Structure 1
Amino acid sequence: MDQTDPAGPPPDRDDAAFPAHRAPRCRGLAELDAEVSGCRACPRLVAWREEVAAHPRAAYRGEEYWARPVPGFGPSDAALAVVGLAPAAHGGNRTGRMFTGDASGDVLFAALHAVGLASRPTATHRGDGLELYGVRITAPVHCAPPQNRPTPAERRTCSPWLASELALLGPGLRAVVALGGFGWQALLPVLAEAGRPLPRPRPAFGHGVHLTLPATDRLPPLHVLGCYHPSQRNTFTGVLTFDMLVELLARAAGLAGLSDGGAGRPGGPDREGPQGDQGAP
């Protein structure tokens, strides 16, 4: 329990200061995920996620929507992180798990499975048996935004969650893939604030862009890769093909030390076995 703050009581969950207050105090990913799931710091996003749940698409009528912030998904010892944009209104906002139940997730999980980082190529709901191997999926904004467009202020308010999540993954984190320009622009400041030296000027986003951030006193080098977002617009127009996504994820897995020569699931004898819905609500 928090100690009494001489400056006043800790902020409520619907206070904009709540993420900045709570995120750094979390001692593990399970605690962080629980705090994320209860956050109400952005009024516009709270209203939208609940409005969507109250008026579901016909295909999902009768389903109970998650309608809360969606925490990250994957093992607590992940060597690779995938950072997206935000949950989809009828995807993660419905299922309660990142990239689950929407078209973007269909492509992403199929690619992760092809690389050997997921136990199955589809993700339909929490508890569907999907397991991730050595990879954790998260986002810089944890609530579904109107028109898939969080505001800069909403991104700033939510950023402490991402910062703490990456910090809690610890020195075992070796590579991060940013999906889309939004993920890239949100990720780099978080890394800089964590003490990671970034080149100046900061490199622009692009598919296949690769930064190697040098080691610090506490952390090993970190590989940061840009990848086009697997949105329907990008995949339907061929901006991002399935083969392009698989190639980039395979490259990231190799940089993270997850490759085992293609003989099976990534990891190797010095890593724990597959993890299931750890970190999922």
Structure 2
Amino acid sequence: MTAHPDPTSPGGYRTLAEMDADLVDCRACPRLVAWREQVAREKRASFRDETYWGRPVPGLGPADAKLLLVGLAPAAHGGNRTGRMFTGDRSGDFLFAAMHAVGLTNQPFAIDRDDGLRLLGTRISAPVHCAPPDNKPTPTERDTCRDWLITELGLLAPTVRAVLVLGAFGWQTLLPILAQTGWSIPRPRPKFGHGVHLSLPPQRPDRRPLELFGCYHVSQQNTFTKRLTPAMLEAVLTDAKEAAGL
């Protein structure tokens, strides 16, 4: 099952909780289903005694969030193992430490779904909700999953005031979705870059202006090489937080 693409009636869902209840049962992409379940069976040696989630990973955070973070997809042994976005891997460690430093979470770590983590006025989602091989979804998989993000934005629209996109994949996926869900995107379409900031005017009377920010992804490739440092991430998070009115 996939979400309905009409943002004025987002899948018939009245709440994000209703949407997420269907999302976690999605089996629309055969390659992703096979991979996520294979990883859940075979496991990483260090997690061999754990039961992997092995399903689509829903968004994380309150349904009335003012700030939305958009990543790429769950990690095979992170979100695909724990069932929660950016939880249980080094990318999440980096992200949540920075979010806590600027006041967007109640604690600086994310270990599992029972660790007490709360996001403050912020929700985290992704263009693709299943772990992909080599962290690379195909264009078809991206397009198949996009209706969930369209629906999510429709449900968040009454409160969301800023979006922070982690990485070029999320940026390229999100811009046409924002256009479809009621915001005006400049032409030519803005290129991704760390620290890019755009103000998007609404195209519909039930939308408010939206502040859009770009940030390098919190992948180990970026954080280990210092392409993205804690200070850089905290600076962008602070700008997005202030723009969201948090």
Question: Could you tell me the TM-score, scaled by structure 1's length?
Answer: 0.84
Distance 2:182 2:98 in 1: 32
1:88 alignment partner, SS class: coil
* Runs (5+) with no aligned partner, structure 1: 1-12, 259-281
Distance 1:33 1:101 in 2: 20
The one-letter code sitting in structure 2 at the alignment partner of 1:244 is M
Question: Highest Rg: 1 or 2?
Answer: 1
Distance 2:123 2:199 in 1: 19
1:171 alignment partner, SS class: coil
**1:257 and 2:245 aligned:** yes
2:3 alignment partner, SS class: helix
The one-letter code sitting in structure 2 at the alignment partner of 1:19 is A
Aligned counterparts, 1:226-241, within 5 A: 226-241=214-229
Q: 2:209 aligns with which of 210, 218, 221?
A: 221
Find the counterpart in structure 1 of residue 130 from structure 2.
143
Aligned counterparts, 1:67-216, within 5 A: 67-215=54-202, 216=204
Summarize deviations over 1:171-223 as a string: whole Å, max 9, x none.
21000001000010111111011121110010100001111001341111000
The one-letter code sitting in structure 2 at the alignment partner of 1:217 is P
Distance 1:172 1:236 in 2: 35
1:25 alignment partner, SS class: coil
The one-letter code sitting in structure 1 at the alignment partner of 2:77 is H
Structure 1 runs of 4+ aligned residues shifted over 4 Å read none
Is 1:72–1:138's contact at 8 Å kept on the other side of the alignment? yes
* Runs (5+) with no aligned partner, structure 2: none
Identity %: 62
Is 2:28–2:144's contact at 8 Å kept on the other side of the alignment? yes
The one-letter code sitting in structure 1 at the alignment partner of 2:216 is Y
Find the counterpart in structure 2 of residue 242 from structure 1.
230
Q: How many residues align?
A: 242
Q: CA deviation at 1:20?
A: 3.8
2:11 alignment partner, SS class: helix
2:158 alignment partner, SS class: helix
The one-letter code sitting in structure 1 at the alignment partner of 2:51 is E
RMSD: 1.2
